[in-house]
């Protein structure tokens, strides 16, 4: 039975495209840069009853590749109606372009390879173009007349030993090709310097670059009675949790209607944007600041996941349905993985008589991976038995490096292999948390732990306390984390109180991380202003979905959160959305080469007075063994059954 918040289906996308075609909106040069669900209003979702007809709307972002013009089309697929067709003003400041098409990456390579200037640059350097890889890269925004308002892309060149070789270890430093995709021509070629191409071998994986070790013994994870969760379409229940799994081409994985003990916690949770700004001043990289959702589409680039590699245990998979450049439906098999994991001790106490009570923690994991060029990103949501939610981003893949003189030094890039220099950069994710703590009437506060001066209120000097600062408007809610003060942000319910008379609440607990390091007068600062704060809060608006605006590709800046919050709307006792920025600042190291071990970042969302007592008191004591925990002094080997 279909639910209003279910992901788009193959049949719906095909039906939507057919509506566009019958309305005369599809020509031989029409491509679909994005196909996304238009979610129904919260009121419509709340009023919907099982068995009722679900009105389903789809947003098609149409691009005419011959003219560069683009438009938004909203199709109601239930009735087969084209509800609206809105031309986008991509040639008017502050500009902005739809995301790139995959076929434009292939077009980029064709244009570069055919260009005489590029061919001459390769010849001047004595390099063979046979297996060269022309990487298609978002250009940022610098106001150049031949770029502003145009659909442009840049290309850097990497060498490969053969067609199957990983290119990232052999950058051709100082060779930059600027391309107008609509006109299908090279705007200019930069050819600076004569830095030798590094010879470092970047091969890894299968076939293995090294002989695989044989010392690791297998770990078997089994659930002989099956998993503890149940799945009905997109609806999942697990212990006290219930939620719906969503997926779309831009955000990837979405969690809807997350509830604990039947009480709402989050109406919607996703990571709708991330920016990857580079801190290098070289001509080859100063302009790099990728918006991996808005420019490339995270969900579009989701991986089909593999049992035993990406996910381990008893797995339930959800397919991802997206659309290709022609607007036709494509299924990504096993795009989202869900499984249970043991997570150590949840609570424990040894009593005065020497007996002990101990219960093991377990978490439900819902995850997907997206590959954007050289980097791979894992997006992991964890639900815990104590009512906590954790999000973790896993950054891995291959670092984006340039060439330099072996043994030299740079203030902006580390030498990670002979002649191979990887610039300092950031991966700044933005989570969008449409909170619903016991309903939509919520308020926000900041809590800091503070020292107290020795005196009448602290006669022995040992005391400390905490302060609570109410954040009642959007500008007040622009905040940064403060680990020294153990800073958290509290979301309270306006309709329910707990057993001690306080409003029920959850805490957003940030991890220590940097905000955007670029200067306020930089282009990336204007374009990624959302990354300059670790917390923003806005009153809910269905039109406010993406923190850098709807179309950050080729956008001059100011879109999204800085524009919305300038109105300084009230966020007190209302339906509010939190925007939390986090992520690693990466100073690459030799150990990151040739493939980078996972770099972890994220946050926790945990109950604070939402519950009247520990909700995991009733856990069984023998969740691993088929008997209870072995007593002190036993001689069990500890093998699970």
- Segment 257-270 shows an average pLDDT of 98
- Segment 227-231 shows an average pLDDT of 98
Q: What per-residue confidence (pLDDT) applies to 131?
A: 95
Q: Above 80 in pLDDT, residue 635?
A: no
Same domain, 307 and 456: yes
Q: How far is CA 599 from the centre of its chain?
A: 14
C-alpha 311/C-alpha 306 separation (Å) is 7
State how far the alpha carbon of 126 is from the alpha carbons of 115, 122, 403, 404, 480, in Å.
17, 6, 16, 17, 50
- Segment 553-578 shows an average pLDDT of 98
Q: Is the peptide bond before 210 cis (omega within 30 degrees of 0)?
A: no
Same domain, 383 and 296: yes
pLDDT, tens digit, for every residue of 473-486? Answer: 999 999 999 999 99
Q: What per-residue confidence (pLDDT) applies to 445?
A: 99
pLDDT more than 70, % of the chain: 96
Please name the residues in contact with 527: beta carbons below 8 A apart, sequence gap of 6 or more: 140, 141, 275, 289, 291, 548, 552, 555, 556, 557, 559
pTM above 0.85, yes or no: yes
Inside any domain, residue 474: yes
Same domain, 205 and 84: no
Same domain, 326 and 446: yes
Q: What per-residue confidence (pLDDT) applies to 560?
A: 98
Q: Please say whether the dihedral angle defined by the alpha carbons of residues 198, 204, 210 and 214, taken in this order, is positive or negative.
A: positive
- Tracing tokens 């219960």 back to the chain, one arrives at 359
- HSE at residue 381, side-chain half, CA atoms within 13 A, is 26
The answer to whether residues 270 and 431 touch, using CB atoms and an 8 Å cutoff, is yes
Q: What per-residue confidence (pLDDT) applies to 208?
A: 55
Count of H-run helices and E-run strands, the chain: 6, 34
In terms of Cβ atoms closer than 10 Å to its own Cβ (0-12, 13-18, 19+), residue 232 is exposed
Same domain, 564 and 595: yes
DSSP letter string, 412-474: SEEEEETTEEEE-EE-EEEEEEEE-TTSS-EEEEEEEEEE--SBTTBTTS--EEEEEEEE-BT
Q: How many residues belong to the chain?
A: 641
The answer to whether residues 560 and 546 touch, using CB atoms and an 8 Å cutoff, is yes
Inside any domain, residue 490: yes
- Whether 375 is a known active-site residue: answer yes
Q: Above 90 in pLDDT, residue 518?
A: yes
Same domain, 100 and 74: no
The rounded mean pLDDT for the chain is: 95
Inside any domain, residue 624: no
CATH number of the domain enclosing 156: 3.10.450.40
pLDDT, tens digit, for every residue of 386-445? Answer: 999 999 999 999 999 999 999 999 999 999 999 999 999 999 999 999 999 999 999 999
Q: What per-residue confidence (pLDDT) applies to 207?
A: 63
Inside any domain, residue 418: no
At 197, list the tokens: 């191409």
Same domain, 50 and 101: no
Inside any domain, residue 394: yes
At 243, list the tokens: 């939620």
C-alpha 367/C-alpha 182 separation (Å) is 36
**Phi and psi torsions of 187, nearest 5°:** -80, -45
Same domain, 170 and 30: no
Q: What per-residue confidence (pLDDT) applies to 209?
A: 58
Same domain, 76 and 94: no
Residue among 278, 296, 375, 608 flagged as catalytic: 375
Q: What per-residue confidence (pLDDT) applies to 163?
A: 87
Range of the domain at 18: 10-88
The answer to whether residues 402 and 376 touch, using CB atoms and an 8 Å cutoff, is no
3-class SS at 108?
helix
- In the chain, the number of structural domains is 3
CATH number of the domain enclosing 249: 2.70.98.20
306 pLDDT band, cuts 50/70/90, is confident
- Segment 507-525 shows an average pLDDT of 97
Same domain, 592 and 471: yes
211 pLDDT band, cuts 50/70/90, is confident
Cα–Cα nearest to 383, from 400, 361, 368: 361
Show the CA angle centred on residue 550, arms to residues 547 and 552, nearest 5°.
Answer: 80
Q: Above 70 in pLDDT, residue 361?
A: yes
- Tracing tokens 């109105």 back to the chain, one arrives at 567
Residue among 6, 292, 376, 526 flagged as catalytic: 292
Same domain, 378 and 450: yes
Task: Reduce the secondary structure of 523-552 to three states and give it as a string.
Answer: HHHHHCHHHHCCEEEEECCCCCCCCCCCCC
Inside any domain, residue 637: no
Q: What per-residue confidence (pLDDT) applies to 626?
A: 45
Cα–Cα nearest to 107, from 73, 136, 66, 81: 136
- Whether 145 is a known active-site residue: answer no
- Segment 274-287 shows an average pLDDT of 97
Cα–Cα nearest to 71, from 86, 56, 91, 50: 86
C-alpha 546/C-alpha 531 separation (Å) is 12
Cα–Cα nearest to 581, from 459, 477, 430, 445: 430
E strands of 192-228, at which residues?
none
pLDDT, tens digit, for every residue of 9-58? Answer: 999 999 999 999 999 999 999 999 999 999 999 999 999 999 999 899 99
């Amino acid at each position: 039975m279909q639910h209003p918040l279910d992901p788009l289906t193959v049949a719906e996308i095909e039906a939507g495209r057919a509506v566009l075609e019958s309305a005369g909106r599809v020509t031989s040069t029409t491509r679909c840069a994005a196909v996304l669900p238009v979610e129904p209003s919260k009121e419509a979702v709340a009023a919907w009853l099982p068995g009722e007809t679900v009105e389903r709307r789809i947003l098609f972002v149409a691009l005419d590749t011959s003219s560069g013009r683009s438009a938004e089309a909203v199709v109601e697929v239930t009735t087969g109606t084209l509800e609206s067709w809105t031309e986008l003003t991509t040639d008017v400041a502050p500009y902005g372009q739809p995301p790139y098409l995959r076929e434009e990456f292939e077009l980029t390579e064709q244009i570069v390879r055919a260009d005489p200037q590029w061919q001459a640059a390769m010849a001047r350097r004595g390099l063979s173009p046979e297996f060269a890889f022309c990487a298609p890269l978002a250009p940022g925004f610098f106001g150049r007349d031949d770029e502003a308002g145009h659909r442009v892309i840049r290309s850097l060149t990497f060498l490969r030993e053969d067609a199957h070789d990983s290119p990232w270890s052999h950058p051709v430093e100082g060779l930059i090709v600027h391309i107008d995709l609509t006109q299908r021509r090279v705007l200019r070629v930069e050819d600076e310097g004569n830095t030798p191409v590094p010879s470092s071998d970047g091969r890894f994986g299968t076939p293995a670059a090294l002989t695989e070790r044989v010392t690791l013994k297998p770990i078997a994870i089994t659930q002989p009675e099956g998993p503890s969760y149940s799945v009905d379409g997109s609806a999942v229940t697990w212990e006290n949790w219930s939620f719906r799994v969503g997926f779309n081409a831009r955000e990837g994985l979405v969690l809807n209607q997350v509830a604990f003990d039947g009480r709402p916690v989050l109406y919607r949770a996703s990571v709708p944007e991330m920016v990857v700004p580079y801190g290098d001043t070289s001509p080859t990289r100063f302009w790099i600041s990728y918006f991996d959702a808005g420019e490339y589409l995270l969900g579009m680039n989701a991986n089909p996941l593999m049992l035993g590699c990406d996910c381990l245990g008893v797995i339930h998979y959800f397919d991802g349905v997206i659309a290709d450049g022609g607007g036709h439906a494509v299924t990504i098999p096993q795009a989202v993985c869900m499984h249970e994991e043991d997570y150590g001790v949840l609570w424990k106490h040894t009593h005065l008589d020497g007996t002990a009570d101990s219960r093991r923690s377990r978490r439900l994991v819902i995850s997907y991976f997206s590959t954007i060029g050289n980097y791979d990103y894992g997006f992991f949501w964890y639900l815990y038995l104590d009512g906590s939610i954790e999000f973790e981003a896993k950054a891995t893949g291959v670092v984006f490096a340039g060439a330099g003189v072996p043994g030299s030094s740079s203030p902006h890039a580390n030498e990670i292999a002979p002649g191979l220099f990887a610039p300092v950069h950031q991966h700044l994710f933005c989570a969008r948390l449409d909170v619903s703590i016991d309903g939509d009437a919520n308020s926000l506060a900041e809590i800091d732990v503070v020292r107290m001066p020795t005196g009448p209120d602290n006669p022995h000097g040992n005391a400390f306390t905490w302060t609570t600062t109410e954040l009642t408007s959007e500008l007040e809610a622009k905040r940064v984390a403060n680990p020294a003060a153990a800073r958290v942000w509290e979301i309270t319910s306006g309709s329910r109180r707990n057993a001690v008379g306080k409003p029920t609440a959850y805490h957003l607990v940030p991890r220590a991380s940097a905000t955007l390091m670029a200067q306020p007068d930089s282009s990336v600062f204007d374009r990624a202003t959302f990354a300059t704060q670790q917390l923003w809060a806005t009153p809910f608006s269905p039109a406010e979905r993406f923190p850098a605006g709807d179309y950050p590709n080729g956008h001059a800046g100011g879109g999204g959160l800085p524009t919305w919050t300038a109105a300084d709307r009230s966020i007190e006792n209302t339906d509010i959305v939190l925007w939390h920025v986090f992520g690693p600042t990466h100073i690459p190291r030799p150990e990151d080469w040739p493939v980078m071990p996972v770099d972890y970042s994220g946050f926790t969302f945990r109950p604070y007075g939402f519950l009247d007592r520990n909700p995991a008191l009733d856990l069984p004591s023998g969740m691993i063994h088929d008997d209870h925990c072995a007593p002190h002094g036993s001689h069990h080997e500890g093998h699970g059954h």
